[in-house]
Amino acid sequence: MLLAVLTLFSGVSFAQTGGVTLSGDSGSASAYPDRYIIQEGDTLWDISRAFMGDPYYWPQLWSLNEYITNPHWIYPGNEIVFSMGSDLEPPSMSFGGGDSEGYTAPDTEIEPETLACGPDVRFEKSYGSEHYVTPAFLAQADDVEVWGSVQAAKSGSSLLGPGDTIYLDLDDPGAVACGDLVALFTEGADVRHPESRRVRYGSVWQVGAIARIVNVDDEDRVTAVIRNSYTEVHRGDMVGPAFPIEGEFPVDSPKGDLEGTIIARSGQDMYRLAAVGETVFIDLGKDDGLREGNTFYVVHHRDEMVSMLEEQEMIPDQVVGRVVLTRVDDATSTGVVVDASSPIRIGDQVATAVQ
């Protein structure tokens, strides 16, 4: 046990008791100091033995000083004030602030902070017009206009992309002319509502590229060149009228009081998780008053350590993403994920307000 070094405030002579040096006249009450400054190496055990005559008095000393959270840690610079007591009044100790020089505990006061109270809302930052691409649409097969297919290509590659010359097999070659744009697309997975499964929305149609017609000859052979490519193009892909899949939209905080569900996402692999830049589809549309440029929060109610999928009713809305709508149909809308802090899956809730 380390010897303690004392700073004494009264007394004229010194004596050694245990590991602590005392001040005062031996054999009288004045043999004990009325104040003591804790020095480096002191312990409650040493102090109790030196001043109270019994080291096992340290638990009582500890109990008198609530600020000592761990009896093994007392700090130099704190002042102990003693009352050695009499036949009528038991001895006691207390800690005082003291004005002595020496070690001063660092100031740990926490600065006051202004906290925003309310629901867990984030992703409220507004963006100016940004360029977004959503190369997919959701539709029933009977509502999709298919003119023909990609029959062959000049390239020997199995995967076709920008700049490749392709030859189209169209039902009515006369319906197109040089300079026209056409979409090259494939039919993806069947989409049903993730909760009821009874509502069927059709299929996700993935647009692989936009091509420009460069020639229609006398034998009705149609030649085109792939212009913009969003994924690989294959021989056999369907051909139809081009429609806007790129656009610029400002992004703002959601407004209104609507709730919906993510019912599908684009991608031929159709993984259940999406991230920033992904195309998603929700079960709200023009019938609900929506238009292009509207935004939604993506909302979870989960403790992800417990489950990445299970929703818990006792958890309030957790905003984990934001979606801007780029195409609005009657009953569904297409959007792109512009913010995300967690993976987004089919079945997640979207809302324009959170609680």
CATH 3.10.350 for domain 14-96, yes or no, is yes
> Region 153-165: what's the mean pLDDT?
92
> Tokens 């480096």 sit at which residue?
40
Q: Is the CB of residue 7 less than 8 Å from the CB of residue 102?
A: yes
Q: What is the largest CA-CA distance in the chain?
A: 128
* Higher pLDDT pick, 333 / 42: 333
CB pairs under 8 A, 24+ apart, for 9-18? Answer: 9/33, 9/34, 9/35, 10/34, 10/35, 17/49, 17/50, 17/51, 18/46, 18/49, 18/50, 18/55
Q: Which helix (H) or strand (E) holds 246?
A: strand 246-251
- Contacts of residue 106, Cβ cutoff 8 Å, sequence gap at least 6: none
> Region 257-284: what's the mean pLDDT?
80
The second-level CATH assignment, the architecture, of 136-244 is: Beta Barrel (2.40)
14-96 and 127-133+247-351 have identical folds? no
Neighbouring C-alpha atoms within 13 Å toward the C-beta of 6: 25
Please give the model's pTM, rounded to 2 decimal places. Answer: 0.63
- Of the ranges 13-17, 41-45, 84-88, 172-176, the best mean pLDDT one: 172-176
Domain positions in the chain are: 14-96, 127-133+247-351, 136-244
pLDDT at 28 over 50: no
pLDDT at 282 over 90: yes
> Region 5-9: what's the mean pLDDT?
33
What local confidence, expressed as pLDDT, does residue 90 receive?
A: 55
CA-based radius of gyration for the chain: 39
CATH number for region 127-133+247-351:
2.40.30
